[in-house]
Every structure is written in C-alpha cells, then in structure tokens.
Amino acid sequence: MEKLHNITLRHYIINNEKCIGIVFYPNKVIQALVKQLPNVKWSEEHQVVYLKNTHQNLDAIYSTFRGVAWINVRYFFKNRPVNIQGSGNGDIRWAENRILKEDYKSCPKEYLQKLELKKYSNNTIRAYVRCFEQYLNHYKDADPNELNELHIKDYLSSLVKKKVSNSHINQSINAIKFYYEIVLDMPNRFYDLERPIKEQKLPKVISKKEVLAIIKNTANIKHKCIVELLYSAGLRRSELLNLKLTDIDSERMMIRIEGAKGNKDRYSLLSINVLEDLRVYFKQWRPQKYLFEGPGGTPYTGTSVEKIVKNAARRAGIYKSVSPHMLRHSFATHLLENGTDLRNIQVLLGHNSLKTTEVYAHVATNAFDKIKNLLD
C-alpha cells in the first residue's frame, strides 16, 4: 500500500485577508497538486503557500488531496477559546475618554467593543487593554494584522527579559489572542504559543481574631456590612458590588451571587448577625437597587471597597497589607480549620475544580496540629 503524504492547514492573515496556509515538506506529488488549487499563492514573509479562506477553497483542498495526503487540521479546527463570555458589566468609556500621547498606539475600537460585548469585567477590560497596547507600541510602526507568530514570540521573549511576572505574560498572551482569535475571528491562529508555568503561590490569610478586629474598626454600619459580607460569604469584590437587594434571601438565609466568575450563578451563606446589621444599614442608607450604592444611587466602586478594608485594618493595628480578596481566602481557610468538607467549600467559593480549593489545605493551621516543633 502506498504511503500517504502529509499536509497541515493553518490560519494566516496576509495582506489583511484571512487565508488558509498549507504547510508540507517539499515533495513533487504535493507540489503538483498544490498548483491545481484555485488562485494559490506563495508568501515570502511566512514561507508558506496559501489561498483565501473560503468554504469553497477549503472544499477544493479536501477534494484535491483526498486519498493522496493526510490532511492535518489540528491547528485549524481545534477549539481553544479565549474565555469567550465574561460575567461583568464591561465599561469601555474610560478607554475612549483617555488623553493619550500623540505617538501612542491605542486599542482599535473594534477591540474595545468586543470586550464590552463579551461582558468582561472592568478589571479584565483594563488588563487586556493595557497588555494589548503594550504589544501594539512594541511594534509601533507595524500593522498588527501583518504581524505573525514569530513577532508575538519575540515580544513575549522581551517580556521574559524584563523579568515581568508569569501572570502578566499569560495575561498578555490572552490579550493578544483575543485580538486575533475573537476580534478578527481566527480561532487557534496561535495554537503554538508556549505559556510560562503558572506560579504556585499560597493564598495570604489573616486570623479570625484579626478579621473581627477589622470589622470592629470600620467607620460606619455600611462599611461594617461590606467587610462582614466579604468574609462571611467568601465574596469576590466584584460579586459584592453586583449584589442587589433581591439577592439577600432572609427566608433561606442564603445570598444569591448572579453571574459570578465564569458566568455562573451560585449561593453562599448569610449570617444571622450580618442580616441584623444589614437591616440597620438599610433603614439608615435606603439603597434603591444595588445593596451598596455610591452618591445618587451610582454603583459603588472597587476602589472604595479596597480603601474601607485597608483603613479598618490600619485602625485595628494590623500593619500587614490586607485586601478584600484576603478576606475571601480567610473565609475558606477558617472553614477548613473548623472541619468543613473541602467539596462544600468549593461550592461556596464557586470554584470549577476541587484542585483550586485544595490550596487552602496548605495554609490551614489544623494541618500542622499533630506535628510537634523540634524546639518545643
């Protein structure tokens, strides 16, 4: 039986057009068949033969090489999406209203609109815009549609040389892939981009005594409720800000968290003590729609929540850097120390994988209770 030849199909943008690249080892049979394809061309820059990306041309490739060559479409069809749908209320006005330097290359409008359409959180939008604009300005004189995989790899290498964090490099890859794969609708064009190994950092936590001291030193009942909910329900900052009055279920003693990370809804615990404080808060502040609102009913900001936690910690005499997310970490750790099953903690936190939750086993103090220190 005659051995089949091999060709590989890849996505390319050449002269601002979506193209199908055909990669193969030099071979008289393959070369002769390639010449039979409609309007096939050679790209000197990419060193590949290509034709316009249309259904008709894709059908022509299949009919031409069927029975003669094995067509590898692994890089062409395999779906590796870049977090297609978010859960936030994306606001791109800050990016559109910025005052930028004359020679600064900013995000294309369609990039911003796509981020907003996908409902990414404001934090994610800002991170993607920042990372993608750094990439654009690295190649200031180039059209991003003309840049290829080698350009991106060179840019990522420059980030490594600058010793930026692995998380920043990963975020840069996501931001760049978002442009080519989502904005330009070219899935898996950069399938081969190698990501750095994710840093295995343990969550930072504080003791329950320190949490109670922070709550005691909040400035008013509104601030007290904010800190109490972050800790007692294990909320992310964005989840707290998105809470509506209707999300507090005092009958079932549950808090509904709608459209959380990964666009998932979940429930968390509502403390009896927190419910009592919320009732006092409601009578004094009278929020209309969201549980916590700024002046004139405007949405409360993440920066405000950050300041509330840090100021209360400072007044409590805690000089370590305390953040809202640290209260979420402390919630999970303290539950584990109290004997709560890890699977239940996973559900309360909204983690997709139990492996993500297992990290708290490394910081819970009861993991070391039976170990006697050598100096004691």
pLDDT > 70? residue 191:
no
Lowest mean pLDDT among 3-17, 187-201, 244-258: 187-201
- Contact partners, residue 124, CB within 8 Å, separation at least 6: 86, 88, 90, 115
Using the structure block, give the residue that is written with the tokens 């909040």. 218
pLDDT > 50? residue 154:
yes
52 is catalytic: no
Could you tell me the pLDDT band of residue 82, with boundaries at 50, 70 and 90?
very low
What Cα–Cα distance (Å) separates residue 372 from each residue in 216, 365, 368, 369, 375? Answer: 34, 13, 8, 8, 9
Alpha-carbon gap, residue 41 to 23, rounded angstroms: 13
Let me know the angle formed at the C-alpha of 100 by 95 and 104, rounded to the nearest 5 degrees: 105
Lowest mean pLDDT among 96-100, 227-231, 287-291: 96-100
Q: 236, 237, 329, 334: which is the annotated catalytic residue?
A: 236
pLDDT > 80? residue 371:
no
- CB-CB contact of 289 with 245 (8 Å): yes
pLDDT at 362: 85
- Contact partners, residue 25, CB within 8 Å, separation at least 6: 6
The mean pLDDT of 287-294, rounded to a whole number, is 92
**Strand bridging mode 254-260 / 264-269:** antiparallel
- CB-CB contact of 125 with 90 (8 Å): yes
pLDDT tens sequence across 297-312: 877 888 999 999 999 9
User: What average pLDDT does the chain have?
Assistant: 87
- Better-scored residue on pLDDT, 246 or 262: 246
Q: 261, 266, 329, 334: which is the annotated catalytic residue?
A: 261
pLDDT > 80? residue 81:
no
pLDDT at 188: 61
pLDDT > 60? residue 1:
no
pLDDT at 235: 97
222 is catalytic: no
The mean pLDDT of 71-85, rounded to a whole number, is 58
Edge-to-edge strands of the sheet including 41-43?
Answer: 41-43, 48-52, 17-23, 5-14, 69-72
Q: 50, 135, 231, 360: which is the annotated catalytic residue?
A: 360
pLDDT at 49: 93
Could you tell me the pLDDT band of residue 180, with boundaries at 50, 70 and 90?
confident
pLDDT at 6: 82
Max mean pLDDT range (39-53, 112-126, 324-338): 324-338
Could you tell me the pLDDT band of residue 129, with boundaries at 50, 70 and 90?
very high
Using the structure block, give the residue that is written with the tokens 């894709």. 58
pLDDT at 79: 44
Task: Give the long-range contacts of residues 309-317, CB within 8 A, separation 24 or more.
Answer: 309/214, 309/227, 309/230, 311/219, 312/214, 312/215, 312/217, 312/218, 312/219, 312/223, 312/227, 313/210, 313/214, 313/217, 315/217, 316/210, 316/213, 316/214, 316/216, 316/217, 317/213
Could you tell me the pLDDT band of residue 190, with boundaries at 50, 70 and 90?
low
Alpha-carbon gap, residue 150 to 189, rounded angstroms: 12
pLDDT at 80: 42
Q: 177, 328, 329, 334: which is the annotated catalytic residue?
A: 328
Alpha-carbon gap, residue 74 to 108, rounded angstroms: 30
**Strand bridging mode 41-43 / 248-249:** unpaired
- CB-CB contact of 117 with 158 (8 Å): no
Q: 46, 222, 334, 351: which is the annotated catalytic residue?
A: 351
351 is catalytic: yes
For 228, counting Cβ atoms within 10 Å of its Cβ (0-12 exposed, 13-18 middle, 19+ buried), the class is: buried
- CB-CB contact of 103 with 140 (8 Å): yes
Could you tell me the pLDDT band of residue 96, with boundaries at 50, 70 and 90?
confident
pTM passes above 0.85: no
Which of these, 198, 147, 150, 152, lies nearest to 173 by C-alpha position? 152
Could you tell me the pLDDT band of residue 173, with boundaries at 50, 70 and 90?
very high
- Contact partners, residue 41, CB within 8 Å, separation at least 6: 49, 50, 51
pLDDT > 50? residue 11:
yes
236 is catalytic: yes
pLDDT tens sequence across 311-369: 999 999 998 999 999 999 999 999 999 999 999 999 999 998 898 899 898 888 876 77
Percent of the chain predicted with pLDDT > 70: 92
11 is catalytic: no
pLDDT > 60? residue 2:
no
DSSP string, 80-126: --S-----S----HHHHT----TT--PPPHHHHHHHHHTT--HHHHH
pLDDT at 85: 46
Alpha-carbon gap, residue 85 to 130, rounded angstroms: 20
DSSP string, 204-273: P---HHHHHHHHHT-SSHHHHHHHHHHHHTT--HHHHHT-BGGGEETTTTEEEEEEETTTEEEEEE--HH
